[in-house]
Structure 1
Amino acid sequence: MNPEQLSETIVDALASLVADGAITLPDGVPTQVTVERPRQKGHGDYATNVALQLAKKAGTNPRAFADLVAERLRAADGIAEVEVAGPGFLNVTVEAGAQGQVAADVVAAGAAYGRTGTLAGQSINIEFISANPTGPLHLGHTRWAVLGDAIARVLQAAGAEVAREFYINDRGNQMDLFGASLEAAALGRPIPDDGYQGGYIADLAAAIVAEQPGIVDLPEGERLRAFREAGYALQLAEQQRQLDGFNTHFDVWFSERDLHADESHGSVADTLRDLKDNGHLFEADGALWMRTTDFGDDKDRVLIRSNGELTYFASDTAYYLNKRARGFDHCIYLLGADHHGYVGRLRAMAACVGDDPELTLDVMIGQLVKIMRDGEELRLSKRAGTIVTLNELMDEIGVDALRYSLARYPADSPLTLDVAEITKASSDNPVYYVQYAHARTCRMMENATDVGMSLPGEAFDPSLLDHELDGRLLRALADYPRVVASAAELREPHRVSRYLEDTAAVFNRWYDTKECRMLPQGDEPVTATNEARLVLVQAVRTVLANGLDLLGVSAPERM
């Protein structure tokens, strides 16, 4: 019996009490109740505070309410014992058979175990990298690549339809400087002082000339534009290749240029016309403004400056509306630590265009990451000059170690990682610890095959998983769907990594306990208990693999 099943059992008990007239619930019987694992040993398998929540509405005290519910639960299938504790808490112990059935349920569900429908019907856009196509992806992009992708994965596991979006900053003066830098490198001239200085510029320029030898003979203005566009295409393709190698795949690569290409529906010009018609814009000091202070912003925002130039906020507004027009119910933004001021203005903007930002917008601000090696911070790249690149981080640390280490902390936590610590093959290293636990389950399954054991199928007897540590491990497995749903709702994939570490710890303790041996010893025959524990090991293997997949981390069969 898992927490969701126990919740349903408690709801049924409440419904029967209402039907019999034993209690009255003016607001009706809840569709679900909160069930948690108790913190203290001896307080049962699960606990609920449903009596404390509903007693007042029922016109009675929590203890009396809890006694009524406990009486009904004791008669329910799969319940071994119910204790009323303190002011009205219910501590529930389930029967070994009901508890052990969790293992079979996990094995039967396989890769689908942990997936729920809590967010079914929601269409969510998550934009988590916004980069110029003018250079390599760097450490900041790396953290967002991990967190954004992991958030997308848990949202999908909770039933939402999710689109991962990369916003390409391919418009503006930086693109011309990029073109001028490539042109200068190809012609053997000094790079402009305000241009791009990294060694990768020379590599790109050489690649462009190799592909288009005649480019150097073009007229000056045309030549710069040609270098700019050719460099853009090559650098964007390189960013895509890097992210694919980092196990982060985007569904949409959105070009900023598309917002300014013409005055069609969804363009910046079209957006400004609509906002003006709705009365949210005004002119002052020769500029065009959005009246965002009407919706809680600290000041009104300029859309068109007095010199006629569009601001980034104008593009932000058109881009948000573009997403909504594409059918997304909810838009999630992952922004860097220097974007705190964007939260209020984006929420006000959403309100200005007629949306409720509580329902349609989620702006997450991430903090900076430092990578240390030999006591010093990594700062410089061999090819980019002033940044640590994603490619070099993957080479230095490895995809799994880097992804897991970045995923196991909340986005708003400043983070310092030591290369030696996150790459060492030791139980002190969380990613190694979890992956090794998965590899151990694989080895155990192989050993079972070697002695002629196989999953028992319908012959599985869940009541044989009756050791205290069997129960702890089963409760941990049963908790996994709740952890995934919570990670999705709160946009906190680090909950999955911490769950995996806790579950691996329970499994390792179970593994080291003689009374929980899975394999027969010596000439002992294979028993039904051995086979029951084989199902349990396969269930652990399934949950560890599923959880690692939500973080974009591999589940190796050997370490």
Structure 2
Amino acid sequence: MINPILQAKGQIAQIVDRAAAAAIAAGDLPDCPAGEYGIEIPADHSHGDFACNFAMAGARTYKMAPRKIADAIVAHAALEGTGFSRIEVAGPGFLNFFLDQSWFTGAVEAVLEEGARYGTTDLGQGKKVMVEFVSANPTGPMHLGNARGGALGDCLASVLRWAGYDVTREFYINDAGNQIEKFGKSLSARYMQIVLGDDAVVFPEDGYQGADIRVLAQQYIDEHGTGLEKESEELRSQALIDYALPKNIQKLKDDLAKYRIHYDVWFHESQLHEDGSVGRIIELLRSRGLTYEKDGAVWYKATAFGDEKDEVLVRANGNPTYFAADIAYHYNKFAVRGFDWVINVWGADHHGHVARLKGAMDAVGLDGSKLDVVLMQLVRLMRGGEVARMSKRTGKAITLADLLDEIPVDAARFFFNQREPNTHCEFDLELAVSESSQNPVYYVQYAHARICSILKSLAAEEISPRACTREELDLLQTEQERELVRFMATLPDVVNASVKALDSSKITKYCVELATLFHKFYNACHVKGEAEGLLQARLNLCLAVRQVLRNVLEMLGISAPESM
């Protein structure tokens, strides 16, 4: 795993530390340890490729002006054999480091050497992490929030894998509890309306109103005929649940597969009830003195762990609540399956549940800080500058299936990953299908296709890329070439930053910027027609950019077309 930026920062630390020791030996600095200092990449590279605040950090310890400390470091710094050509002191005492050509050459070589692995890091050290996302209610189709959550969760899981984590993608199927009971009553009512007439049966006020419920009831009749109308409400509802729920779950799987999302685990909530996990978690809380009875229900002392109010675990009718099952589910993630880190992707309307669940993990003897929740805001679909509200197919809210009928999967996945999860997402349907530089996914994919086109054009003239010598790669000295190389070198750091912030939008922003820098290079620097050495150096640079684009698009689950 090669990280040119990390290597450069390590070299700077060595240069500064050795220069400080030499300055102390020469009597130019007092013999005492300096404070901790930082090394950053400035926004304006004319001020240096890296900036170090050693002088400011050491001013109090050395009891000297930062500028004087910085001058001492520069006077004793040895740059021979490093990737730096010079150091300058700026402002109150910043140490600005300028890379020499050997670093740029080495960065291109690193990308070509690492190939499909370039960008991977060892941040995760193989720790087991689960990303649970979408987990849509199986009583109906997936909505736009699920579409955004799917793209965010899947990309985040991919980035975690690139950062060296052992990643499991999981979908939690809520196939137990009140929503399934409501699902059964809704199916039963539609079934009875089909058999006896709409006016003969009153549909439940809180029932699921979607057209899909009637479709499922009709499909049952088409396959099995009538007869359930003679059974009790309970038996009829259960028979319809047993028929319809597997169909809905399979539809979830099919739609998500079309969206290029494939889970490692589909975990059924019903399993937690059937194997006694929910009962055991309630007993565990009781044994810790964290429950009490009130109004016939069993309550959990959530206020003991920072929540505003206590929560019901078992209702007065003896049925466990969803919260009880949620505690059991997360206990299973940590204590039973041994995940070191658990990440859930939820809608922002669940924000009040985050601290409650983290506190519950502490309550059962686990570490709630190892549970992180990514809260995502709502999606607003736009068409022609106006909000697109209704599905053309059903007249109801637009579903994931509707969206993928209208726009390419590449565009959906890219657009949903363009913004930080905690910001509202405006999705422009017309932009998503446009073939223009205004469409960011098209813009990025076109950069990849353009490189493939360069290679094909040269191949027609029997010119093929070959491995370059370091002397040939040293010819890549224009500002456009250096900017491109410098930016490619940041990918491992971007991967790590994306993981630390749990923000996959850093990846889409990275590839848009990389495409922009490549297009600038393409417009400023000729490949065809140059002398052999420079031609091959630029071809190698093109190959490196193509590789990085492929790697990043793979993280996003987006195709890298060779022609457009």
Q: By the TM > 0.5 criterion, same fold?
A: yes
Contact 2:374/2:502 (CA < 8 Å) preserved in 1? no
After superposition, give the CA deviation of every residue in 1:275-321 in whole Å (9 maximum; x if it has no partner): 21122223344432222222222222221234433222211211110
CA distance in 2: counterparts of 1:24 and 1:317, whole angstroms: 57
Q: Are 1:154 and 2:159 counterparts?
A: yes
After superposition, give the CA deviation of every residue in 1:213-240 in whole Å (9 maximum; x if it has no partner): 6886984554432221121111101110
Provide closer, same or farther for how the CA distance between residues 73 and 507 of structure 1 changes in structure 2, counting only shifts above 3 A: farther
Q: Name the structure 2 match of 1:473.
A: 484
Q: CA deviation at 1:257?
A: 0.7
CA distance in 2: counterparts of 1:51 and 1:273, whole angstroms: 59
Provide closer, same or farther for how the CA distance between residues 213 and 87 of structure 1 changes in structure 2, counting only shifts above 3 A: same
Q: Name the structure 1 match of 2:442.
A: 432
Matches within 5 A, 1:99-498: 99-183=104-188, 188-189=194-195, 190=198, 192-193=203-204, 194-209=206-221, 212=224, 219-220=231-232, 221-263=234-276, 267-325=277-335, 326-358=337-369, 360-382=370-392, 385-457=395-467, 459-460=469-470, 461-498=472-509
Q: CA deviation at 1:34?
A: 5.1
Q: CA deviation at 1:271?
A: 0.7
Q: CA deviation at 1:211?
A: 5.3
Contact 1:14/1:29 (CA < 8 Å) preserved in 2? no
How many residues were matched structurally?
Answer: 547
Point out the more displaced range, 400-409 or 213-222.
213-222
Matches within 5 A, 1:496-507: 496-507=507-518
Contact 2:8/2:83 (CA < 8 Å) preserved in 1? no
Letter in 1 for 2:216: L
Q: CA deviation at 1:174?
A: 2.9
Letter in 2 for 1:201: I
CA distance in 1: counterparts of 2:30 and 2:309, whole angstroms: 51
Letter in 2 for 1:40: D
After superposition, give the CA deviation of every residue in 1:360-391 in whole Å (9 maximum; x if it has no partner): 11122211111022343232335555321101
Aligned residues: CA RMSD: 2.7
Contact 1:11/1:29 (CA < 8 Å) preserved in 2? no
Q: Name the structure 1 match of 2:44.
A: 40
Q: CA deviation at 1:173?
A: 3.5
Point out the more displaced range, 302-311 or 229-238.
302-311
Q: Name the structure 2 match of 1:8.
A: 10
Provide closer, same or farther for how the CA distance between residues 116 and 25 of structure 1 changes in structure 2, counting only shifts above 3 A: farther
CA distance in 1: counterparts of 2:238 and 2:393, whole angstroms: 24
Q: What secondary structure is seen at the aligned counterpart in 2 of 1:164?
A: strand
Provide closer, same or farther for how the CA distance between residues 50 and 150 of structure 1 changes in structure 2, counting only shifts above 3 A: farther
Provide closer, same or farther for how the CA distance between residues 352 and 441 of structure 1 changes in structure 2, counting only shifts above 3 A: same
Provide closer, same or farther for how the CA distance between residues 61 and 210 of structure 1 changes in structure 2, counting only shifts above 3 A: farther
Contact 1:73/1:79 (CA < 8 Å) preserved in 2? no
Q: Name the structure 2 match of 1:542.
A: 547
Q: CA deviation at 1:412?
A: 0.8
After superposition, give the CA deviation of every residue in 1:425-476 in whole Å (9 maximum; x if it has no partner): 1111211111111111111122232233333325353211111111111101
Q: CA deviation at 1:530?
A: 0.7
Provide closer, same or farther for how the CA distance between residues 489 and 272 of structure 1 changes in structure 2, counting only shifts above 3 A: same
Contact 1:3/1:36 (CA < 8 Å) preserved in 2? no
Q: What secondary structure is seen at the aligned counterpart in 1 of 2:474?
A: helix
Provide closer, same or farther for how the CA distance between residues 158 and 196 of structure 1 changes in structure 2, counting only shifts above 3 A: same
Q: What secondary structure is seen at the aligned counterpart in 1 of 2:42?
A: coil
- Ranges in structure 1 where 5+ consecutive residues have no aligned partner: none
Q: CA deviation at 1:56?
A: 4.3
Q: CA deviation at 1:25?
A: 9.8
Provide closer, same or farther for how the CA distance between residues 55 and 218 of structure 1 changes in structure 2, counting only shifts above 3 A: farther
Provide closer, same or farther for how the CA distance between residues 227 and 398 of structure 1 changes in structure 2, counting only shifts above 3 A: same
Contact 2:20/2:73 (CA < 8 Å) preserved in 1? no
Q: Name the structure 1 match of 2:526.
A: 517
Q: What secondary structure is seen at the aligned counterpart in 1 of 2:152?
A: helix
TM-score normalized by structure 1? Answer: 0.90
After superposition, give the CA deviation of every residue in 1:376-426 in whole Å (9 maximum; x if it has no partner): 323233555532110110111221111111101011101222211222111
Give the fraction of aligned pairs with identical amino acids, expressed as a percent: 39
CA distance in 2: counterparts of 1:245 and 1:57, whole angstroms: 61
Provide closer, same or farther for how the CA distance between residues 472 and 458 of structure 1 changes in structure 2, counting only shifts above 3 A: closer
After superposition, give the CA deviation of every residue in 1:92-139 in whole Å (9 maximum; x if it has no partner): 222213212211211221111111001223211111122221221111
Provide closer, same or farther for how the CA distance between residues 363 and 314 of structure 1 changes in structure 2, counting only shifts above 3 A: same
Point out the more displaced range, 169-178 or 199-208.
199-208
Provide closer, same or farther for how the CA distance between residues 272 and 552 of structure 1 changes in structure 2, counting only shifts above 3 A: same
Alignment equivalent of 1:78, drawn from 70, 83, 90 = 83
CA distance in 1: counterparts of 2:459 and 2:34, whole angstroms: 53
Q: CA deviation at 1:36?
A: 3.5
CA distance in 2: counterparts of 1:214 and 1:89, whole angstroms: 82
CA distance in 1: counterparts of 2:79 and 2:179, whole angstroms: 70
Letter in 1 for 2:239: A
Q: CA deviation at 1:184?
A: 5.4
Contact 2:34/2:57 (CA < 8 Å) preserved in 1? no
After superposition, give the CA deviation of every residue in 1:463-508 in whole Å (9 maximum; x if it has no partner): 1111111111110111111111100111011111111112211111
